[in-house]
Structure 1
Amino acid sequence: MHEIVNWIVETVGAMGYLGIFIMMFLESSFFPFPSEVAMIPAGYLASKGEMSLVAAFLAGAGGSLAGALFNYALGHRLGRAFLIRYGKYIFLKPETVDKTEAFFAKYGPASTFWGRLLPGIRQYISLPAGIGKMPLLAFSIYTFLGAGIWCAVLLGLGYIFGEHEDQIKEVLHYLIGGIILMVIGVFYYYRKRNKKIEEKFIEELESEK
């Protein structure tokens, strides 16, 4: 596990700001990628002078906004019915759409700000905003502010612990190690689930013939 964590830190450093942007784009869209893997190592590298803290922040927040805009466009252009029917092929369950719609209906446009700080809501709050035709400018501002706070917190953790290199390496080993195991578990779950969905879809097509 130590080797994997060291590889992640080295990869973030090697890929640079574009890599941070891409990873945060994935995290902010429907792809189940943990933002901690990108931003905490970036903060650590910034503390060592190997990255600019400001540039890493802009890359992370910008990637989060881009991923959110992608989900916003899905909701805006395709609509609720399409996402309910076909969202299962992109890790999006109907219950998730219902959950985020209820959150958006309860808290209004500001939910695109608060939602960025809540696990399980963060990636998907953009969908009901798009479905509800929330003004794009307001959506972008709320999203960037919320994503910015989250990125700043993660960068700050990496940067602060970076002053105590031995401590952050120990923290990263446990934190990222746990995240890696979680991601593997999520992929395994969705792989089995999607296989069952595909089999059911094929059966439905054959029954309609």
Structure 2
Amino acid sequence: MTERILPFLIHFVTQVIGSLGYAGIAALMGIESACVPLPSEIIMPFAGYLVYTGRFSLFWAATAGAIGCNLGSVIAYWVGAAGGRPLVMRYGRWVLMSHHDLDRMTHFFEKYGTITVLVGRLLPVVRTFIAFPAGVARMPQLRFHVYTFIGSWPWCFGLAYVGMKLGEKWHTDPRFEQAFHRFHLVVELGLLAAVIWFVWSHINRFRQASEA
């Protein structure tokens, strides 16, 4: 499956960024932050490659990515803020989110709101969905967007920097290509294990609740 999906995603990302430039980076990172799992690990390294070719500035590529994170977060934040607990209670089981998850997220945001957003924006997968629970917890929106930008910019900069360095070394140092493929495999296996655990634990919880 990965062999079919990954080339499609790479083609889509390269076409959008190639056509729209900085606006394409912002649009794609906005899609990711709107709870759509379009990997920033593909988006920003390609932007970094275009930094290597001289088309982009590294600073502005990272800034466009962070702006896109804020734009996409608006949608997810307000869906969480408007729907809140009733949305989770009615439709949560279709996305494997229970009222227990909502209670835990709300409590965590009330107690550690700032840290939640800053840390969440630096974590793969988590960063894609962090805006929804922030909205459910009604974290002050201005503060949410400030910390979204602060947390997203280093992530975007780091991935773009990696893409820039890969562009410099890709054809001259075969060790870079080998290391990249090993890294990609480890990330994919880790994400797969996390998804399996998440789905299995939540299905068991819903099954136990229905039997009670």
Q: Does the TM-score normalized on the shorter chain lie above 0.5?
A: yes
Match of 1:116 in 2: 121
Paired residues for 1:41-120 under 5 Å: 41-87=46-92, 91=95, 93-94=97-98, 97=102, 100-120=105-125
What is the total number of aligned residue pairs between the two structures? 188
Aligned pair 1:161/2:166, yes or no?
Answer: yes
1:173, CA displacement in angstroms? 5.7
Aligned pair 1:131/2:155, yes or no?
Answer: no
1:13, CA displacement in angstroms? 2.5
Match of 1:14 in 2: 19
Question: What runs of 5+ residues in structure 2 fail to find an aligned partner?
Answer: 197-212
Opposite residue 57 of structure 2, the aligned amino acid is S
1:148, CA displacement in angstroms? 0.8
What CA distance in whole angstroms lies between the structure 1 residues aligned with 2:45 and 2:141?
Answer: 30
**Would the aligned equivalents of 2:106 and 2:137 in 1 still touch at CA under 8 Å?**
no
1:14, CA displacement in angstroms? 3.3
**Aligned in 2, Cα 1:26/1:19: closer, same or farther, shift over 3 Å?**
same
- Name whichever of 24-33 and 99-108 sits farther off: 99-108
Opposite residue 47 of structure 1, the aligned amino acid is Y
1:96, CA displacement in angstroms? 5.7
**Would the aligned equivalents of 2:10 and 2:42 in 1 still touch at CA under 8 Å?**
no
1:119, CA displacement in angstroms? 2.8
What CA distance in whole angstroms lies between the structure 1 residues aligned with 2:125 and 2:89?
Answer: 17
TM-score calculated relative to the size of structure 2: 0.70
**Would the aligned equivalents of 2:48 and 2:58 in 1 still touch at CA under 8 Å?**
yes
Opposite residue 97 of structure 2, the aligned amino acid is K
RMSD: 3.5
What CA distance in whole angstroms lies between the structure 2 residues aligned with 1:39 and 1:179?
Answer: 16
- Identity fraction in percent: 37
Match of 1:23 in 2: 28
1:99, CA displacement in angstroms? 5.4
**Would the aligned equivalents of 1:112 and 1:143 in 2 still touch at CA under 8 Å?**
yes
Paired residues for 1:183-194 under 5 Å: none
Deviations 1:118-138 (A, max 9, x none): 234222222232222222111
Deviations 1:168-195 (A, max 9, x none): 5556666668889999x8xxx9xxxxxx
Deviations 1:74-124 (A, max 9, x none): 1112222213422566x5633764554354245233311111112342222
What CA distance in whole angstroms lies between the structure 2 residues aligned with 1:180 and 1:126?
Answer: 23
What CA distance in whole angstroms lies between the structure 2 residues aligned with 1:6 and 1:126?
Answer: 25
- Name whichever of 10-19 and 25-34 sits farther off: 10-19
**Aligned in 2, Cα 1:76/1:7: closer, same or farther, shift over 3 Å?**
closer
**Would the aligned equivalents of 1:27 and 1:123 in 2 still touch at CA under 8 Å?**
yes
1:146, CA displacement in angstroms? 0.5
**Aligned in 2, Cα 1:176/1:79: closer, same or farther, shift over 3 Å?**
same
